[in-house]
Structure 1
């Protein structure tokens, strides 16, 4: 799969602005008491993985970005955690072992930009899941997410980079209904203590929203089935009109 978002361009600053933890309690609860190895896909710099590792989980963590995995490795260097970091494409996953629990956090499956490739990823995931095992797939609900894909420029926030630098992050994106693709850019402006901009970057962002009907169709072509869908990370009921998220639990038949 082509790298649809070139995270290597921002791997060194990613953790300064992606520091949310709203889903961490959910994944801690879902993995509580699980003593076997957990597979996390599209793991990034370890935002979800590291809290799980600190709580004693054993993990294999996969991402296609070498830069993101390098950042992950630096954060856990010499900590003695039971983790295997693997640079690999989820649409061509070949780990030569199966897992009883696989997680795909932070709604990342939608970064795969064709239904065919999304299907390939789900097939690979199914092939790596033990019979009776659980796959947790998190997605945004397109009904609400697409409201922000209107072409307007928005400021996400201001973030401290170090003791005397700050980064202003903004973005714009728009929705191509014909292709069912959201595309746009994130802009990074770094200022010194005198409020002089010293660096500017941009990152092209593209993703393909996944509607529930399309997900069900893709899943039907695997050996998995959806058993539960939550509308948030507090186990709220999924409402296609109101929920921000589609948190799906699947079982291998």
Structure 2
């Protein structure tokens, strides 16, 4: 796959097992999606599906799941998990801005704030064009992204915590620095244990609510609702998240 804006922004996903262990107990987005899919045996598409945290249980529920991710290592790990549990999911390494799947669906979703990986206006547009090509008329697209709370973003945030990785206590020092012109936050983490020290980083774009609404309208989507969390909290200026529920008109 040719280099693009995502290619150098994947170091956070270098160890799929550790990533899966970190997030395996989080279920709010899964419960939201499960409740939304009231009819069983639907053909659905998950973008940026990672290690299959949602795709596998949704396949277990009876849905035909097509999962795509740009990181081959994450998908390999997801496939091993699915095989071990005896669930059939269709996984493919793809750039979400250039989707090429053999099906169209009534439902596409993307969680984990993956929308923040689309750093430019061009890639955000390309994402919606790709989604639109794979949705049936009146099909729904649900995704989340962090709500930009400006007074928090403008502070250079340095935090330190101790976590357990591979049975060993590791100190993690993280720093976030936001560029208000590009709306991109550069996040770097340093991991220090008795055996080694290493760093990873990620760039994340923050998109404002009115930008999102215009983006949806521009690409022929109707905004059904914005929630403040996957637990359907009311969205307001202090909400950490925006969970966007849109329909293709």
Length-normalised TM-score, structure 2? 0.89
Distance 1:244 1:22 in 2: 14
Distance 1:44 1:62 in 2: 8
Distance 1:92 1:78 in 2: 30
Select 2:222's aligned residue among 215, 221, 225.
Answer: 225
**Structure 2 segments unaligned to the other structure (5+ residues):** none
Partner of 1:36: 42
Distance 2:153 2:196 in 1: 27
Question: What RMSD, in angstroms, separates the aligned Cα atoms of the two structures?
Answer: 2.0
Partner of 1:245: 241
Distance 1:35 1:54 in 2: 10
1:127 positional shift? 1.3
Distance 2:173 2:80 in 1: 27
1:149 positional shift? 6.0
Partner of 1:177: 180
Preserved CA contact (<8 Å) 2:146 2:241 = yes
Partner of 2:152: 147
1:78 positional shift? 4.0
Matched, 1:48 2:54: yes
1:34 positional shift? 3.5
- Matched residues, number: 243
1:42-95 CA-to-partner distances (Å, cap 9, x unmatched) read: 111122223323333320110000111112122222432131011000011111
Length-normalised TM-score, structure 1? 0.87
Q: 1:118 to 1:199 in 2, by over 3 A?
A: same
Q: How does 1:1-253 map to 2 (within 5 A)?
A: 1-2=4-5, 3-7=7-11, 8-19=13-24, 20-143=26-149, 147=152, 150-162=155-167, 165-189=168-192, 191=193, 197-239=194-236, 241-253=237-249
Q: 1:156 to 1:228 in 2, by over 3 A?
A: farther
